[in-house]
Copies of this chain bind each other. A is one copy, B any other.
Amino acid sequence: MDLTHFDENGNARMVDVTAKTETERMAAAAGKIKVSPDVLMAVKERRVAKGDVLTVATTAGIAGTKKTWELIPMCHIVPLTGCTIEWNFKEESCEIECRCTARCTGKTGVEMEALTGVSVALLTVYDMCKAIDKTMEIGEIRLLEKNGGKSGHFVRKD
């Protein structure tokens, strides 16, 4: 089993997708941040007041999906045709879940864009809450679903 991002001489490369067909593609990824009860309360209160932590983090996450190709060296520039970020509070476990869905019409998938969007959004939550809690932990960043390429429809089971 071989890594497609290297040629036979071991040179890293951007995979050639010139000959591939443009199709409508979608990818959704998720992740979460584990926070202290103080942070959870502060973010939730902000959610219903002016100066919303999650609006800043959503803005950063969407902007981040557009910078995926700048961050991940072998990623193609993919002009996304749509991007959403959604949030979910899990109060019992003190976690804030983030889900990012990216879409394009192109020759290559957008799972890296969705994963980057989740990562940047969660890092932004961390940044805005770190004065309260330095022990927050970001985790479970994973691909949920992917559609539109020749590898078919992927849906994560669990």
Query: Which label, helix, strand, loop or mixed, suits the secondary structure of the A interface?
Result: mixed
Q: Is the CB of B11 within 8 A of A58?
A: yes
Q: What is the CA–CA distance of A67 and B124 in the complex, to the nearest angstrom?
A: 13
User: What's the interface size class on A, roughly?
Assistant: 35 or more
* B50, B53, B74, B138: the one within 8 Å of A128 (CB): B74
- List residues of chain B with CB within 8 A of the CB of A51: 3, 6-7, 9-12, 52, 55
CB-CB contacts of A12-48 with B at 8 A, as 1s and 0s?
1111111110001000000100000010001000111
Q: What is the CA–CA distance of A91 and B87 in the complex, to the nearest angstrom?
A: 34
With A1-B132, A86-B9, A126-B112 given, is the CB distance from A77 to B74 under 8 Å? no
Q: Which residue of B lies closest to A14 (CB)?
A: B83
Q: What is the CA–CA distance of A129 and B143 in the complex, to the nearest angstrom?
A: 13
Which residues of A101-154 have CB atoms within 8 Å of chain B's CB atoms?
Answer: 103-107, 111-112, 115-116, 119-120, 123-124, 126-132, 134-143, 146, 154
- Given A3-B53, A20-B81, A76-B81, 19 new contacts (CB under 8 A): A1-B42, A1-B132, A2-B42, A6-B46, A11-B50, A11-B84, A11-B85, A13-B83, A16-B81, A19-B24, A50-B52, A67-B67, A73-B124, A77-B79, A112-B127, A134-B154, A135-B156, A138-B141, A138-B142
